[in-house]
Amino acid sequence: MSPLKKTKSRLSRLVSILALMSMFVVAVADAEAAELRLKQQCTVGGGVVTLGDVAEIFDVDAKTVEDLSAVQLFPAPAPSGRRFLRLREIQDLLLLQGVDLREHRFSGSSQVSITAVVKTDRVDNSRTRPLSFSSKRRAKRIIREAISEYLKQHVSAEMPWMVEVEPSEADTRLIEAGRRQVTITGGQAPWTGVQRFLVTLTPVGATSATDGKAATEGAIVNVSHEEEIRRFAVDAVVSVPAAVVVATRALHRGAIVNPGDVELQIAPSAVGEKGEPLHSLDEVIGKQTTQAISSGAVLQSKALRAPLLVKRGEVVTVNVLSAGIRVRTNGRARDDGSLGDVISVESLHDRRTFFAQVRAVREVEVFARGVQAETVR
């Protein structure tokens, strides 16, 4: 190989090595840079807000994370107060503290909401003590009744709303914390199924000083008497009982149900009754009662049957069909029967008993097998 070609080959290899080294240096620099992920909201209990309060800090070096977390930014807001801080403002505060922003990456929210709480030396044992069954049941009842009342006021006062809700342990503790007025908002048409509602707990006697921005989950806002308004979202299953058929007047046993005798009503009390309630007027009208039914009672399937066309002891017309030939005779019914029922019938001539199907009023039908003649060989 000529000296010129050898020189070019060496230069090419040198360029490749330098490119790989530069890529490695960039990768190492990125790996060493700490990531500062800004939070959307935070709560501080001390007198000074630090970088660790407003941002999550990620770095392979634990000492770097500790040092950055301890960087002080500004005094904390007044107790129960709130302050909003933009990312650019945080970067300016870090520059004032001597932090080189070129060594770190910023991500997360563009603004953080900072809330200050009053710290006390008293230990709140209520948050560590297990919740009793009665506390859970009481919180569930309070929220359920509040949602039902909200639906009656904003949707329909006549509808017997049924609400099932399972508040979390944190929400239950908020309700158990003291006397608070419960206000419900949210939900949407058609108002049944899984609905999300916002529960607002306002201390009794306190007046809210909030605005629209404060209506968020878990928000704490300034109110009188240095109290707090709490808000949390809860999912509830909302339903209404199915309409059932109810008698509008008393019906005696054996009565034929007419259109004016019944109507559809929403009756939640019918859910726990024995039997199977009927939900359609078509299932009822024209049927015959098997027992006395009082006015206002919910009609059930066991209390109705198809009207009797044949009664026990009646003389009925018996139609005998065989091979296209119809023969009519008489018999005596030994059972009650509705349309399509198979009953026992006694012959008036020889008192033999046979089975027949009810076809009309005092009329039954029998299919007789034809006699097949043998072929003479």
Q: Which residues make beta-bridge pairs with 330?
A: 317
- Residue pair 174/232 in contact (Cβ under 8 Å)? The answer is yes
Residues 352 and 289 in one domain: no
pTM as predicted: 0.40
Q: What is the largest CA-CA distance in the chain?
A: 135
The neighbouring-strand residues paired with 266 are 243
| Residue partners of 164: CB distance under 8 A and separation at least 6 | 144, 236, 237, 239
Pair (217, 259) in one structural domain: no
C-alpha 1/C-alpha 38 separation (Å) is 60
Instruction: Check whether residue 334 and residue 300 sit in a common domain.
Output: no
Same domain, yes or no: 329 and 361: yes
Query: Residue 251 falls within a domain, yes or no?
Result: yes
Beta bridge partners of 44: 116
Q: Is residue 42 located within the same domain as residue 146?
A: no
Q: Does 218 share its domain with 257? A: no
Q: Which of 116, 149, 176 is the last residue of a domain?
A: 116
- The number of CA neighbours under 13 Å toward the Cβ of 245 is 22
Domain count, the chain: 4
Residues 252 and 330 in one domain: no
In a domain, 158, yes or no: yes
CATH number of the domain that 65 lies in?
2.60.480.10
Domain that holds residue 327: 309-367
**Residue 9 is assigned to a structural domain of this protein:** no
Same domain? 23 vs 83: yes
Residue 6 lies in a domain: no
Rounded distance between C-alpha atoms, residue 228 and residue 237, angstroms:
29
CA-wise closest residue to 337 among 321, 314, 354, 353: 314
- 85-117 tens-digit pLDDT: 888 888 888 888 888 888 888 888 889 988 877
Q: Is 101 a member of any domain?
A: yes
C-alpha distances out from residue 333 to 253, 329, 356, 363, Å: 21, 13, 9, 10
Q: Please indicate, yes or no, whether residues 138 and 230 belong to a single structural domain of this protein.
A: yes
- For residues 298 and 321, membership in a common domain is answered with no
Query: Does any domain span residue 375?
Result: no
**Residue 7 domain flag:** no
Boundary (domain end) residue, out of 65, 92, 116: 116
Residue 16 CB contacts under 8 Å (≥ 6 apart), including other chains: none
For the domain that residue 316 is a member of, what is the CATH number? 2.30.30.760
Shared-domain flag, residues 145 and 69: no
Contact 348, 334 (CB under 8 A): no
pLDDT, one tens digit for every residue, the chain (377 residues): 565 555 556 656 655 555 555 444 444 444 457 888 998 888 887 778 888 888 988 887 888 888 888 888 888 877 767 788 888 888 888 888 888 888 888 888 889 988 877 554 444 555 557 778 888 888 899 999 999 999 999 888 878 888 999 988 888 888 887 667 888 998 888 888 999 999 888 876 654 444 344 333 333 333 344 357 788 888 999 988 888 889 999 999 989 999 889 988 876 544 445 567 888 888 889 899 989 999 988 888 888 988 989 999 999 999 988 777 888 999 999 999 988 899 999 999 888 999 999 999 899 999 776 545 444 44
Same domain, 232 and 281: no
Boundary-marking domain end, from 84, 116, 148: 116
Q: Report yes or no on 27 lying in a domain.
A: yes
